[in-house]
Chains A and B, each alone.
Chain A
Amino acid sequence: MTITLFIPCFVDALFPRAGISMVQVLESLGHKVVCPEGLTCCGQPPFNSGYWDEARPVAAKVLEQLKGAEAVVIGSGSCGAMVKKFYPELFASRPEEETAKKVAARTWEFSDFLVSKLGVTDLGASFPHKVTFHDGCHGLRELGLKKPPRALLGAVKGLELVEMAEAETCCGFGGTFSAKFPMISTAMGEVKCASAKETNAEYIVSNDSSCLMHIQGLLSRQGSPLKTIHLAEVLSQK
């Protein structure tokens, strides 16, 4: 299968390792991966801030790049939710609505694609560490992805998954929310970090780099040895 891989803008600029790992995992399963040059951002920042007129041209450009794709894989639950769930709403009763719905139906978040579409859980990965998993809210509640990441982690050799009490609690990132309401965002992040620390894990794993950026930002400032890592990077470790 030819997979169009949509690497979110912040993963491209800040966390290329996560994107590279996705390519490696998908190619190791024998699929052809393409990354169109024209894919930049899904348009979520203006959309979530209420500026839908400004979000539409960005989203339309994405749709144009994705409309012919056999399967689209997005390396983030949040951007995945944007394309799968919010594009159809953004273009409701507009000429792009049909395309938006078609693309939405062919779009998968990375872990969901592996588990639900390809039926793969064991990628032969090895990661001999104690980890805890953070559910990104968009992946969890917009896309319902509680199980796929855990199924994948369960097959990683040497990996011990310890669930934290606040696994499903928002980390406080929320895109522009983290800059507009930094005090609330920080408090939420502190609750998350405290819960992760209680597990004595070495790594916080997630399928959303944006949450990890926020959590890591707090952990680094606190001088904590706890590290964050994207699910794809765990799965690409042999």
Chain B
Amino acid sequence: MTPVSQFLKDARVMAADLRHRKIIRTALGNYEIARDKRKASFQDWQGARQLAAETKWEAVNHLDKHLESFAAKLEARGTKVHWASTAEQAREIVLGIVKDKKASSVIKSKAMTSEEIHLNDALEHAGLKVVESDLGELIVQLRNEAPYHIVFPSMHLTRDEISELFQRELGSAPTNDPEELTMIARRALRKKYLTADIGITGANFAIAETGMISITENEGNARLTAALPKTMISLVGIEKVLPKLEDLALFLPMLATMGTGQALTCYNTMYGGPRQPGETDGPQEWHVVLLDNHRTELLADAEQRDALHCIRCGACLNVCPIFRNVGGHTYGTTYSGPIGSVITPHLRGLQDWKHLSSASSLCGACTETCPVKIDLHHHLLHNRRNAAKGKPSFFEKLTYKIFAMAASRPTLWKTGLALARIGQPIQRLVKGTALDPAKSWTKTRDLPPLAKESFKDWWRNRK
């Protein structure tokens, strides 16, 4: 099935799923209250957004310089830096390390980059045991599902569903107490940290000035993933760069505010290198894999370059009425919601993924909320323009050509309106059936009748 037919099929089911609508609405209602409370604690939220946008502009527009500095500082402290142009290269680099270390098990903390390159599949295919340590990620892993949301991977599930899953997969007793569910996962995970050969993480920010990555989390699982196994691998998208260490003073609270409605997440850690001589803990080896995977193509697009500002907070998903009604899985992409609809055509091909840019009312709630001021909904419009230019639909182009002709000639327009008046009673006879030309509208909605006297008729008659 093509991505567009799969999307239409899933959207049809999900948009009518009232249970799903209620779960998401409740979850995001709580998020909104927390988010707004945290936003209000900023002295000047709009000023903070502006500063964040300018900081990311600097990072992205001088990415070459910042990446070189980032890599050089990391290497100076003994970190091995790898550059991966494609998803395939990134997978090969990770598999190479795994093979070199003769590893048999991997523990992972949350990393959307790893979803993007389908790393788990590759590792499992190579015979490794892979365990996700983030609670939400573990839940979707046990369900053999992709994350539903970039920040809340399992937000589509109820506690009862999670309890059933744990009973089935982890052999636990039934409970719908969130603390007890967390403890079940914790008990299962603790053993895995101790036996894993390799820990794989993502990164929230990459600090060019000091050569450090910043990981922000609430469960402490990323710390354990990084600290306990002998080898640590971090898979970092090249757009994660921030120029200076002090930029975190803005970005950490901003990400927490918009991501989860927290002032700061519970654990904020910076990693600057593997275990240094004289140190007693930390990984013996640290590999940082810098992932391009079409990001430089987005960088080359001056109009949409700001999409690389994204800090993956998920705020645009949370306010998007499309996301809220079709859900994260319907997109069929790693990155869903408005940011996913903007960047997926760049990452995976415009013509195959242009439908995501069309599946929007262009309401602009995403752009309004984005903490780094990405012009999200206008980029959806730009993707539509580029898609129509690259490969126009014959029918649509013809329709608009006729439309343009009529709209530029008032007499023709008037004739069209007169014909529509004749047509409407006929349309009413076949309303909602296959013969109805307005079926896609009239199946669920009434169509207003054309006025007997149009405004223009009234205006002419009045004079």
Which residues in A have some Cβ–Cβ distance to B below 8 Å? 7, 9, 11-16, 19-20, 23, 35, 37-38, 40-41, 43, 45-46, 48-55, 57-58, 61, 137-138, 140-142, 168-170, 172-175, 177-189, 191, 213-214, 216-218, 220-221
A20 pairs with B325, CB closer than 8 A: no
Q: Tell me the interface secondary structure of chain A in the complex.
A: helix
Which residues in B have some Cβ–Cβ distance to A below 8 Å? 8, 11-12, 15-16, 21, 321-322, 324-326, 358-365, 367-368, 381, 383-389, 392, 396-397, 400-401, 403-404, 406-408, 410, 413, 417, 420, 438, 440-441, 443-451, 453-459
| Minimum CB–CB distance for A196 against chain B, Å | 15
B410 pairs with A37, CB closer than 8 A: yes
Q: Which of these, A50, A216, A220, contacts B388 with CB under 8 Å?
A: A50
CA distance A179 to B399 in the complex (A): 14
Residues of A within 8 A of B441 (CB): 178-179, 182, 217
CA distance A46 to B393 in the complex (A): 12
Most A CB atoms within 10 A — which of B11, B326, B362? B362
Most B CB atoms within 10 A — which of A179, A181, A216? A181
B420 pairs with A13, CB closer than 8 A: yes
B407 pairs with A214, CB closer than 8 A: no
| Minimum CB–CB distance for B360 against chain A, Å | 7
B360 pairs with A15, CB closer than 8 A: no
| Minimum CB–CB distance for A13 against chain B, Å | 5
Residues of A within 8 A of B8 (CB): 181
B322 pairs with A184, CB closer than 8 A: yes
Q: Which of these, B12, B321, B407, contacts A188 with CB under 8 Å?
A: B321
| Minimum CB–CB distance for A180 against chain B, Å | 6
Residues of A within 8 A of B420 (CB): 13
B445 pairs with A184, CB closer than 8 A: no
A184 pairs with B325, CB closer than 8 A: yes
Residues of B within 8 A of A140 (CB): 364
CA distance A53 to B397 in the complex (A): 10
CA distance A52 to B385 in the complex (A): 7
| Minimum CB–CB distance for B122 against chain A, Å | 34
Known: A58-B408, A137-B363, A217-B448. A13 touches B325 (CB 8 A): no
- Which 9 A/B pairs are nearest by Cβ-Cβ distance? A174-B361, A50-B384, A217-B445, A50-B388, A170-B363, A19-B455, A54-B400, A141-B364, A137-B363
Residues of B within 8 A of A50 (CB): 381, 383-389
| Minimum CB–CB distance for A206 against chain B, Å | 14
B12 pairs with A49, CB closer than 8 A: no
B456 pairs with A189, CB closer than 8 A: no
Residues of B within 8 A of A169 (CB): 321, 363, 365
Residues of B within 8 A of A20 (CB): 455, 458
B363 pairs with A191, CB closer than 8 A: no
B455 pairs with A16, CB closer than 8 A: yes
A37 pairs with B456, CB closer than 8 A: yes
B459 pairs with A35, CB closer than 8 A: yes
CA distance A169 to B320 in the complex (A): 9
Most A CB atoms within 10 A — which of B12, B326, B385, B438? B385
CA distance A48 to B397 in the complex (A): 13
A48 pairs with B384, CB closer than 8 A: yes
Residues of A within 8 A of B381 (CB): 48, 50
Known: A13-B454, A187-B325. A218 touches B363 (CB 8 A): no
A16 pairs with B388, CB closer than 8 A: no
Known: A49-B384, A142-B364, A188-B321. A180 touches B444 (CB 8 A): no
Most A CB atoms within 10 A — which of B16, B322, B403, B445? B445
Known: A16-B453, A49-B396, A52-B385. A174 touches B360 (CB 8 A): yes
Residues of B within 8 A of A12 (CB): 454-456
A40 pairs with B413, CB closer than 8 A: yes
CA distance A180 to B355 in the complex (A): 10
CB-based nearest A residue for B457: A16
CA distance A109 to B451 in the complex (A): 23
| Minimum CB–CB distance for A156 against chain B, Å | 23
